Amino acid sequence: MNAAPKALRHLAELERAGLTSLDNRTVLERVAAQYAVAITPEMVGLIDPADPRDPIARQFVPDPAELETRPEERADPIGDQTHSPVEGIVHRYADRVLLKLTHVCAVYCRFCFRREMVGPAAKPLTTPELDAALDYIAANPDIWEVVMTGGDPLVLSARRLKQVVSRLAAIAHVKVLRVHSRVPVADPARVTPELVRALKTKGKATYVVLHANHARELTPAARDACSRLIDAGIPMLSQSVLLAGVNDDPQTLASLMRALVECRIKPYYLHHGDLAPGTSHLRTSIECGQDLMRALRGRLSGLCQPTYVLDIPGGHGKSPIGPNYLSRDESGCTWIEDFNGGSHCYMPTSSD
């Protein structure tokens, strides 16, 4: 039996696949030395090497622009470290914590907000560190939800995941387990029946949040992987990042949201690009994101509407930054804009 194709991790492999040029080898070696590179066969197969603006390549293929760091960019753009009481835990909101099980991913996104800390050379949580993280969760009864993230938790073995899930299941006040992952689209074969079983546990609700940014990522294999999770009773949500040249036009974004809903995945968040180093070429303006959300409103089903959010730099949490449809005048009228751009006065009577 032939071994499964491996992810491309070296510039020579990217060159042979036609994804980069030998002419750029020197500058891209500097990029790869600073930020991890890995592109799975599934994602390689979606890239058109002849298209310099290919939206899949733009997400995963290293770019010389990554060497440009703007003054406002920071290594920890959303302030994880500010809210990390013990290694592996981020406790920003009272009722939930992030549990960062690993710093390894199946693919490395060029816009990643944790790009300074993820990669094959990053150290996983040690057994004592994991014990301390789980002890922290057990000692804080306000924690209702644990979000397993990283890195990507689904790169771990089913056995390892089952061990962690079982230990979380023993904590009575934890009611919800949430897994954030790119694996169902990046490496769908990893979503085996054994892995699906490992994520489920009696008495707890398990959710999987898929990271996808373009409808082409939802291949037949990816859809099958998601179906294995959903058919097993694990609801799925999605998170996407608004990216220049990838999904920053109404048609592309609408196609992504519809494709997700067709897969029985509820669009959850559309993230504004974080201020991670070397990512300015992929960020849009907030006004662009607001215009896109206006374009979706009323033209797509409510099932297809994500919440457009900004993770405030410095660790202050997410805030919705979608467009505003209300204004008020001196007469007391509240003007409401409809999805066609028309304005309507809403002036309730006192009985309202």
**pLDDT (0 to 100) of residue 332:** 85
**pLDDT tens-digit profile of 323-338?**
999 999 888 899 999 9
The share of the chain scoring above pLDDT 90, in percent, equals 91
**Main-chain phi, psi angles of 225, to 5 degrees:** -60, -45
Among residues 88, 83, 212, 217, which one has the least CA distance to residue 153? 88
CA dihedral 193, 195, 197, 198 (to 10 degrees): 170
CA distance 196 to 318: 29
Instruction: Check whether 19 has a pLDDT greater than 70.
Output: yes
The CATH 3.20.20.70 domain(s) of the chain lie at: 81-320
- According to CATH, the superfamily of the domain at 81-320 is Aldolase class I (3.20.20.70)
Query: Where does 304-350 show beta strands of DSSP type E?
Result: 307-311, 318-320, 326-328, 334-337, 343-346
Instruction: Say what the pTM is.
Output: 0.94
* DSSP per-residue codes, 30-54: HHHHHS---B-HHHHTT--TT-TT-
Instruction: Check whether 244 has a pLDDT greater than 90.
Output: yes
Q: Which residues are catalytic?
A: 92-93, 96, 105, 109, 112, 114, 274, 311, 318
* DSSP per-residue codes, 137-158: HHT-TT--EEEEESS-GGGS-H
**pLDDT (0 to 100) of residue 122:** 83
pLDDT band at 1, cuts 50/70/90? very low
How large is the average pLDDT for residues 312-327? 94
**pLDDT (0 to 100) of residue 123:** 81
Q: What is the three-class DSSP state of 202?
A: coil
**pLDDT (0 to 100) of residue 298:** 83
Q: Which amino acid would we find at residue 311?
A: D
Output the average pLDDT for the chain.
95
